[in-house]
C-alpha cells in the first residue's frame, strides 16, 4: 500500500509524504545505494540509518550471490542489509545495461524481490543508452513495455505486497520518452523512475536530462512520485526537484570516494586539489575533525570511508536546503544560484523557457518570499509569464501607458504624487512588462527585488509591449489608448471619466479582476463597497459591503483578496461555472459545509486552470456553494490525486433551508 | 613586527601569510569578535581557539571596566581573553559612532592597547555614517587623519610593539574615501581597515560598499592587508575578497544568534522559518546533532550558544571555500554564484564593470581552472577585457574576418577542415570578441565553458567588433581586410601570401606576439625554428632552434610559451627594456644567476604592466639577463612589496666571462 500527498510546494517541486507499507518518507529525498553484502559497504549502516529513511540496493546481486540469497530468503532483505525502514531494489537492469545480458527472467526477478520482502521493487526494464539508432531505442522500449505489463499482471494475479517501479526509457528520443511515460502511466505503477540518464550526467549533458525529465513528467500521473534514477550529484538536485523529481539515489557518495573525489553542492573537487588547504570547505563531522592533509595521509580504506561519509552529509544537506527553499517559495532562486556552478547547468536551465507554459501550471500563485532577479534568465520565470497572461484579465476601457523612474519605490502608488483617475494606467516595467497602477501591491508586483539593469536587458520586453498594445487596441480601440512619457509630468492628463470616482474602490475592483478574471465588483457594486485601512500602515486591509459586513480581507504579504463567506457568495454569483471551482461528490458535502478540508478523493471535477495556492469555491455537482478555501493542488492534480489534502477550507457554508 | 606575503591569488583576492610578532595567520580570514568579559562571551573560547587564528576584542570596554582593566594590565589581554594567538582590538570608535562620544583621549587608548599587550591596536578614528553632509564627512576625516598622524608618531617615539590599524573613513563620498586612503597610506600603517560600512551592510547597500572598497584599495599600498571592518556576513565574503579584502571580523555570529537568526553562505534564515524542517540545511556539529525542532525548543541561552556556534562554523566554511577557489583560479566563478543570492549583491557585482581596467591589473594571466560563463555578467570579466586588449598585440598584415558554427569544438583549428594560410584569421566570438585562428589554444580561448547564448547576448559585442575593425583598418588598410561569411564555405579564399609557409611555425610566432606583444620569431627566425608534437595528443609541445635546442615549451593546460634559457635570451634580445622585465639590485644578482627565486626586497624596478603569473625576465640595473621565471606579484606590487616572493625563478643565467 502506498499513499502520496503534497504538503508544500514551489516551482514543480513538492514536499510530499510518501507512505509505503506504513513507513513514512518525506520527499524530496535521496536513497543511498547500499551494497547487499555488508562487507562491501563502505559507510557504516548506522550512519545510513541516521541520515536516510529509504535506501536502494540491488536484488540481482542478492539473487546471484548464494550466501546473500539464502539470508535474504530466510530473514528478509531488511535483516540482510540492517535497515528497517523502506528498501527499494533495482532489478539487474543496471547490469543489463553494462553487460548486455543478465541471468534471470524478467518475472523471476520481480517474484524474487517480493519473496525477500522488498518494499519497492523494479521491473527488469531495458536501459537504452543515449544516441543509439532510433529503431534500437524503439525496440528496447517495446520490450520494456511488454515486461512492464507482464510484471504488473503478475503482481496483481499473485497479490504481491511489494510496490513496483515502472521505469521510463526511450534513450535521447523525446518522443519515445513521451510515449514511454504515456504507456507506463496506463499500467498504474507506484513510482516512476526516469531511467538511463547516468551516461548523460557523466558527460555533463544536463540539457538532455532536463528535456527528458520534462517530456516524461508531462505524461506521467501527477500523483505518483518520480525518481531520477542514478542521479546522485547534489549540484543537480535543485533543478531536478524544480522539475518535479521526488526521489534520487546515490551510489555517487561511495563511487566518488573511491577515486578520492569530494562532493560539494557546487561540483566535485579532487582531494589532490584541496589537500594543501588549511581546512575543508565544509563543516560536517568528518571535515571538522580532520584537516585535508590529515585525511589525505590516511590509508586508502579509511580515507575512502571518511570521504564517502562527507559525500553523504553534503548530499543530504542539499536535500534539506531544497526543502527549506520549497517552504519559503524560493526554489527558483536556489535553482538560479546552482545553475551558475557550471555553464552546462546554466544551459540546461535556459531550456526551461521552451516549456514554461507547462511549468507555470504547477507554480504557486503566491509565495512567502519575494521574487529575486538573479540575471536575465529570471525574465522567463513562470511568475513573470503568469503576470503577463493575467494582465489580460483586467477589464480595460481607457488606458494610459506610461513609464516611471526606476528609483520610485514599490508599491508605486504610495510614492507617486499624482491625481488619481479612473482610467487604467499601465506602467512599463522592464521585467513584468506592465504594472497596472491599481494592482501594484499584488504579488509579485511589489514583492520583488530587481537590480539596476543593463540597457540591453531593458529592451528584452519590447516585443511584449508591442504585442500587448496590439491586443489592447483590438480590445478597446486606438482612441482609448494614450501613450504618454512619464507619469509625473503628465498629471494633467489624468482626469476621471466618471463622476463620484473612488480610487480605493476602483483599486479593489481591478485587484479582483486580476485575481479571478471576472468583474466581481461591477458598476452597481462599486459605489456600495467600503474599504478599511490599517491603522498602523494606512494600507487597504478590508472590503466591506454596504452594511459593513466584510467581503474580503487584503492579505498583507501578497495583497491577494481573501473572501469571507459573503465574499465567497459574491464570487460564486459572478464567476461562471466551473471557473474557480472545485467540485466534490455528495459524500463530502456535509463535511465541507462544516468547514472541514477537501480531500482529493472527494473531488469529482474542477477548473482545470487552477494553480496551487489559489482562493477557490468548493461546490457540489449542482454548483451549490459548500465552502471556500485555498488549493493545495492545481487543476490537473485535483483530478488525478485520490489521496491527501486538495483544498484547505477557510469556511463552510450552511445549507439554507427552503 | 609584521610581514605579509602573497602565496596564491585570483581576481584581486589573495591567499597571504600574515606574520604578526611571530604568529602566522593565513589570509583571507575572519576574526571572531570576542567579548573581553568571558562571562559575556556566548561561544566557548575553546571553539574559537579551534577555528580562529586571530580574534578581535574591544580595548575601550576593557579600559572602562575596572576588573577587566586590572586583569589586562596585570596579566595581559591574551590571558584575560584566554586566547594565545593574535589579538586585534578596536579602540572605542564603534562606541563613538553609537554614542557620539567616548571617555578616553585618542592617544590614551593607543597607549592602553600597547600596555595590555594587544598585537594589533586601532586608532580612535571617527566613524562617519553614510549620507551625512559632505562638510561633516570632511571635518570628521580631517580629525581622523590628525589622530592617525599623532598615533603613528606616538608609536614611533615610544617604540611601541603593537601594530596599528589605520582606518579609512569618508562616509559615502568616494572622493573622501580616496583621499583618506591616500593620506593614510603615507603614514605607513600596518593594516588598513575600511570603516563605517556596517550601516550600509545592514541596509543591503552592497553596491555602495563595493564602490567604497575599490576606491580605497586603489590608493592603499598593495603590500598591506585590508580589513573590511564590521563585515561578518559570509554571503559578502567572496565578493569582498575578490576586491582585495584580506581580513573580516564577525560579531554577526553572536548578534544574529541572539535574534534566533541562522547564517548561511547564501543569506540569513530565521529559526522560525526552519523549525518545521526535518533537518537543518547544514552538516556542522551543531546541525548534525540537533533537529530544528529540538534546537527551537531549547531555552534561550542554550539555543543562542548553539546558533552562534553554527554561525561560526558556516562563516569559516565560506572562508575555506574562498581559499579553495583562489587556489583553483575560480574565484570569479564563486563570486558570480554568490551574487545570485540577493539582487542587491548582483547589482553590486555589476558595478565592477566600471572599475574593470583597474581590477584586471591584479587578475592572473592564467588559471588552473577554465573560464566558466555564469550569465551575461561574465562578458565583462577581466579575462575577457584582457584578451580584447591583447588582440592588438598581434602583428597583422592581412586579415580574414569570419564566423564559425557554435557547435565547432575547441580548439577550433583541430576541428575545422580547412586549407591553412599565412593570413590572420579572426573568428568572431560572442564573448571574447575575436579568436585568432593561430592562438586558439591559448588561455582562455580554449579553456572556457559557455552555454548556448540568447540572441541578444550574441549582439553584445557588436560595438567591440566595429571598433576593432576601425582600428584594424587604420593599422593595415581596408584592402587588407576581408570580411567573409563562414569559414568552411570560403576555403578557396585562403591562399598563402608567402612561399614556404609553415603553419606550425606561424602559430608559434603569433602565440608569442600575443603573449609578449613583440615579434619574437621574426621573418628571419620563422624558417629556422622547428616544432615538436606530443606523441600522445599530437599537439604542439616544444619549439626548437635550428640546432634542435629547446627555445620554448608549450604548457599543456594553458598553451603559454614557457622559455628555456635560450628562449629567455631570445626574449631578452627582442623585447625592449623595461618590458617583461623585473629589475633586481646588485645584492641579488648572484642568487638569481644560481636559479634562486626573486624576493620582493631586491626588486628595484619592473615593467609596470606586468600581471601575476606572467613569464618574465629577471635583469640587473644594466639590463643584463640574470634569470627568468613567473611573476607572483603584478607590476604595481613588485614595486610596493618589500617582503616575500616576487618572481618564482625557473632558471638562472651564468655570467659570461669576457
Ligand atoms: Mg524568493
Ligand atoms: Mg573556473
Ligand atoms: Zn564535509
Ligand atoms: Zn550548522
- 3-state SS record for A292-336: HHHHHCCCHHHHHHHHHHHHHHHHHHHHHHHHHHHHHCCHHHHHH
**A267 touches B at CB < 8 Å:** no
Q: DSSP letter at B468?
A: H
Question: Cα B320 to chain center, whole Å?
Answer: 15
Q: Is the pLDDT of residue B173 over 60?
A: yes
Mean pLDDT over A482-508 rounds to 69
pLDDT tens by residue, A289-334 = 999 999 999 999 999 999 999 999 999 999 999 999 999 999 999 9
- Chain A residues lying within 8 Å of B277, measured CB to CB: 320, 323-324, 327
Q: Is the pLDDT of residue B345 over 80?
A: yes
B286 Cα: distance to centroid of ligand 4 (angstroms): 5
Interchain pair A376, B374: CB under 8 A: no
Instruction: Identify the band that residue B421 occupies on the pLDDT scale cut at 50, 70 and 90.
Output: confident
Q: What is the pLDDT of residue A485?
A: 61
Mean pLDDT over B18-28 rounds to 97
Question: Cα A357 to chain center, whole Å?
Answer: 14
pLDDT higher at A120 or B94: A120
CATH number for B529-652: choose from 3.40.50.720, 2.30.130.10, 2.40.110.10, 2.60.40.3880.
2.30.130.10
Find out whether A107 and A123 touch, Cβ atoms under 8 Å. Answer: no
Distance CA A634, CA A647 (A): 10
Distance CA A114, CA B533 (A): 60
Place of cell 640574470: B626
Cα Rg of chain B (Å, integer)? 28
User: Which residue from B266, B281, B346 is facing A375, i.e. has the nearest CB?
Assistant: B346
User: Which residue from B276, B340, B344 is facing A340, i.e. has the nearest CB?
Assistant: B340
**Is residue A155 classed as helix, strand or coil in its secondary structure?**
helix
**A26 touches B at CB < 8 Å:** yes
B447 Cα: distance to centroid of ligand 2 (angstroms): 9
Distance CA B47, CA A16 (A): 38
pLDDT tens by residue, B190-220 = 999 999 999 999 999 999 999 999 999 999 9
Distance CA B93, CA B165 (A): 12
pLDDT tens by residue, B395-407 = 999 999 988 888 8
Joined together, the cell numbers standing for residue A309 give 561519509
- Nearest chain B CA: its distance from A286 CA (Å): 9
- 10 Å CB burial of residue A239 (0-12, 13-18, 19+) is buried
Interchain pair B340, A336: CB under 8 A: yes
Relative orientation angle of helices A206-217 and A174-186, to the nearest 10 degrees: 40
**B283 touches A at CB < 8 Å:** yes
Find out whether B443 and B408 touch, Cβ atoms under 8 Å. Answer: no
Q: What is the pLDDT of residue A658?
A: 67
ipTM for the whole complex: 0.96
Distance CA A434, CA A427 (A): 5
Question: Cα B651 to chain center, whole Å?
Answer: 27
Query: Nearest Cα to B231, choosing from B52, B86, B30, B87?
Result: B30
Q: What is the pLDDT of residue B493?
A: 53
Binding residues of B: 125, 196, 282, 284, 287
Among B90, B260, B440, B607, which one carries the catalytic annotation? B90
User: Which residues 289-328 of B are in CB contact (within 8 Å) with A?
Assistant: 313-314, 316-318, 320-321, 323-324, 327-328
Among A53, A90, A140, A190, which one carries the catalytic annotation? A90
Instruction: Identify the band that residue B428 occupies on the pLDDT scale cut at 50, 70 and 90.
Output: very high
CATH 3.40.50.10540 correct for A2-357: no
Q: Please indicate whether residue B74 is annotated as part of the active site.
A: no
Instruction: Identify the band that residue A100 occupies on the pLDDT scale cut at 50, 70 and 90.
Output: confident
What does pTM read for this prediction?
A: 0.97
Instruction: Identify the band that residue B6 occupies on the pLDDT scale cut at 50, 70 and 90.
Output: very high
Q: What is the pLDDT of residue A420?
A: 77
Which residue is closest to B347 within chain A, CA to CA?
Answer: A451
**Backbone torsion region of residue A503, taken as left when φ is above 0, otherwise alpha when ψ lies between -120 and 50, otherwise beta:** alpha
Q: Is the pLDDT of residue A417 over 80?
A: no
B492: Cβ contacts below 8 Å, ≥ 6 apart: none
**B267 touches A at CB < 8 Å:** no
User: Which residue from B278, B280, B320 is facing A280, i.e. has the nearest CB?
Assistant: B320
Q: Is the pLDDT of residue B333 over 70?
A: yes
Angle at the Cα of A66 from the Cα atoms of A61 and A72, rounded to 5 degrees: 70
Q: What is the pLDDT of residue B372?
A: 98
Distance CA A479, CA A492 (A): 18
Q: What is the pLDDT of residue B416?
A: 85
**A373 touches B at CB < 8 Å:** yes
Q: What is the pLDDT of residue A193?
A: 98
Which residue is closest to B264 within chain A, CA to CA?
Answer: A321
- Nearest chain B CA: its distance from A618 CA (Å): 29
- Nearest chain A CA: its distance from B108 CA (Å): 38
Distance CA B437, CA A94 (A): 44
Q: What is the pLDDT of residue B495?
A: 57
Find out whether A163 and A188 touch, Cβ atoms under 8 Å. Answer: no
pLDDT tens by residue, B450-491 = 999 999 999 999 999 999 999 999 999 999 998 776 554 444
**B443 touches A at CB < 8 Å:** no
Q: Is the pLDDT of residue B492 over 70?
A: no
User: Which residue from B288, B323, B449 is facing A343, i.e. has the nearest CB?
Assistant: B449
Q: What is the pLDDT of residue B630?
A: 98
Q: What is the pLDDT of residue A99?
A: 85
Interchain pair B375, A377: CB under 8 A: yes
Q: Determine which of A53, A318, A340 to mutate to test the interface with B (most B C-beta atoms within 10 Å).
A: A340
pLDDT tens by residue, A66-87 = 999 999 999 999 999 999 999 9
pLDDT tens by residue, B123-142 = 999 999 999 999 999 999 99
Cα Rg of chain A (Å, integer)? 28
Average model confidence (pLDDT) for chain A? 95
Give domain limits for chain B.
2-357, 377-493, 529-652
Mean pLDDT over A53-63 rounds to 97
Q: What is the pLDDT of residue B483?
A: 79
pLDDT higher at A573 or B655: A573
**A645 touches B at CB < 8 Å:** no
**A355 touches B at CB < 8 Å:** no
Let me know how long chain A is: 658
Instruction: Identify the band that residue A405 occupies on the pLDDT scale cut at 50, 70 and 90.
Output: confident
Angle at the Cα of B601 from the Cα atoms of B597 and B605, rounded to 5 degrees: 90
Which residue is closest to A275 within chain B, CA to CA?
Answer: B324
pLDDT tens by residue, B257-276 = 999 999 999 999 999 999 99
Q: What is the pLDDT of residue A498?
A: 63
B483: Cβ contacts below 8 Å, ≥ 6 apart: B400, B401, B402, B469
Mean pLDDT over A609-637 rounds to 98
Q: What is the pLDDT of residue B99?
A: 85
- Nearest chain B CA: its distance from A325 CA (Å): 10
In B19-172, which residue ranges form alpha helices assigned H by DSSP? 45-51, 59-64, 66-75, 77-81, 93-99, 106-115, 134-158
Amino acid at each position: 500500500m502506498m499513499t502520496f500527498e503534497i504538503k508544500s510546494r514551489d516551482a514543480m517541486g513538492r514536499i510530499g509524504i510518501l507512505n509505503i507499507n506504513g513507513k513514512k518518507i518525506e520527499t524530496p529525498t535521496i536513497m543511498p545505494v547500499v551494497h547487499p553484502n555488508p562487507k562491501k559497504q563502505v559507510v557504516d549502516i548506522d550512519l545510513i540509518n541516521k541520515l536516510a529513511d529509504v535506501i536502494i540496493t540491488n536484488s540481482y546481486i542478492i539473487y546471484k550471490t548464494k550466501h546473500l540469497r539464502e539470508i535474504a530468503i530466510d530473514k528478509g532483505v531488511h535483516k540482510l542489509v540492517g535497515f528497517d525502514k523502506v528498501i527499494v531494489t533495482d532489478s539487474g537492469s543496471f547490469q543489463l545495461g553494462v553487460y548486455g545480458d543478465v541471468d534471470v527472467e524478467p518475472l523471476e526477478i520481480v517474484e524474487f524481490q517480493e519473496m525477500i520482502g522488498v518494499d519497492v521493487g523494479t521491473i527488469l526494464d531495458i536501459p537504452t543508452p543515449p544516441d543509439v539508432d532510433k529503431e534500437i531505442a524503439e525496440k528496447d522500449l517495446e520490450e520494456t513495455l511488454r515486461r512492464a505489463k507482464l510484471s504488473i499482471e503478475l503482481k496483481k494475479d499473485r497479490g504481491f505486497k511489494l510496490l513496483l517501479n515502472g521505469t521510463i526509457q526511450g534513450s535521447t528520443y523525446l518522443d519515445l520518452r513521451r510515449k514511454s511515460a504515456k504507456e507506463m502511466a496506463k499500467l498504474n505503477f507506484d513510482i516512476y523512475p526516469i531511467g538511463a540518464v547516468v551516461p548523460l550526467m557523466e558527460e555533463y549533458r544536463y540539457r538532455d536530462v532536463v528535456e527528458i525529465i520534462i517530456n516524461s513528467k508531462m505524461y506521467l500521473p501527477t500523483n505518483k512520485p518520480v525518481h531520477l534514477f542514478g542521479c546522485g550529484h547534489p549540484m543537480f538536485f535543485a533543478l531536478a526537484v524544480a522539475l518535479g523529481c521526488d526521489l534520487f539515489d546515490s551510489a555517487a557518495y561511495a563511487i566518488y570516494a573511491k577515486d578520492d573525489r569530494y562532493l560539494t553542492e557546487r561540483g566535485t573537487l579532487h582531494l589532490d586539489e584541496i589537500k594543501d588547504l588549511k581546512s575543508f570547505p565544509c563543516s560536517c563531522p568528518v571535515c571538522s575533525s580532520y584537516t585535508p592533509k590529515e585525511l589525505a595521509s590516511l590509508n586508502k580504506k579509511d580515507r575512502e570511508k571518511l570521504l564517502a561519509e562527507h559525500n553523504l552529509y553534503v548530499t543530504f544537506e542539499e536535500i534539506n536546503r531544497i526543502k527549506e527553499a520549497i517552504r519559503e517559495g524560493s526554489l527558483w532562486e536556489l535553482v538560479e544560484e546552482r545553475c551558475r556552478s557550471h555553464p552546462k547547468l546554466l544551459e540546461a536551465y535556459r531550456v526551461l523557457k521552451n516549456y514554461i507554459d507547462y511549468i507555470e501550471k504547477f507554480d504557486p500563485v503566491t509565495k512567502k518570499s519575494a521574487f529575486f532577479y538573479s540575471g536575465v534568465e529570471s525574465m522567463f520565470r513562470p511568475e513573470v509569464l503568469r503576470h503577463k497572461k493575467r494582465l489580460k484579465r483586467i477589464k480595460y476601457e481607457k488606458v494610459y501607458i506610461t513609464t516611471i523612474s526606476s528609483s520610485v519605490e514599490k508599491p508605486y502608488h504610495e510614492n507617486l504624487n499624482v491625481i488619481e483617475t479612473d482610467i487604467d494606467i499601465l506602467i512599463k516595467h522592464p521585467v513584468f512588462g506592465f504594472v497596472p497602477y491599481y494592482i501594484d501591491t499584488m504579488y509579485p508586483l511589489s514583492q520583488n527585488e530587481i537590480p539596476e539593469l543593463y540597457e540591453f536587458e531593458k529592451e528584452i520586453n519590447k516585443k511584449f509591449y508591442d504585442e500587448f498594445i496590439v491586443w489592447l487596441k483590438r480590445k478597446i480601440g486606438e482612441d482609448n489608448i494614450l501613450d504618454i512619457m512619464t507619469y509625473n509630468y503628465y498629471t494633467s492628463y489624468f482626469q476621471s471619466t466618471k463622476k463620484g470616482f473612488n480610487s480605493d474602490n476602483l483599486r479593489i475592483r481591478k485587484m479582483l479582476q486580476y485575481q479571478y478574471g471576472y468583474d466581481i465588483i461591477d458598476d452597481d457594486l462599486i459605489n456600495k463597497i467600503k474599504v478599511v485601512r490599517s491603522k498602523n500602515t494606512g494600507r487597504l486591509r478590508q472590503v466591506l459591503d454596504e452594511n459593513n459586513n466584510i467581503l474580503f480581507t487584503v492579505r498583507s504579504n501578497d495583497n491577494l483578496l481573501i473572501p469571507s463567506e459573503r465574499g465567497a457568495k459574491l464570487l460564486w454569483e459572478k464567476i461562471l461555472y466551473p471557473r474557480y471551482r472545485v467540485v466534490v461528490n455528495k459524500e463530502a458535502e456535509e463535511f465541507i459545509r462544516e468547514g472541514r478540508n477537501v480531500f482529493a478523493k472527494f473531488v469529482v471535477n474542477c477548473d482545470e486552470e487552477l494553480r496551487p495556492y489559489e482562493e477557490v469555491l468548493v461546490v457540489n455537482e449542482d454548483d451549490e456553494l459548500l465552502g471556500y478555501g485555498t488549493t493545495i493542488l492545481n487543476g490537473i492534480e485535483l483530478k488525478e490525486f485520490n489521496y491527501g489534502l486538495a483544498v484547505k477550507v477557510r469556511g463552510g457554508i450552511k445549507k439554507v433551508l427552503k
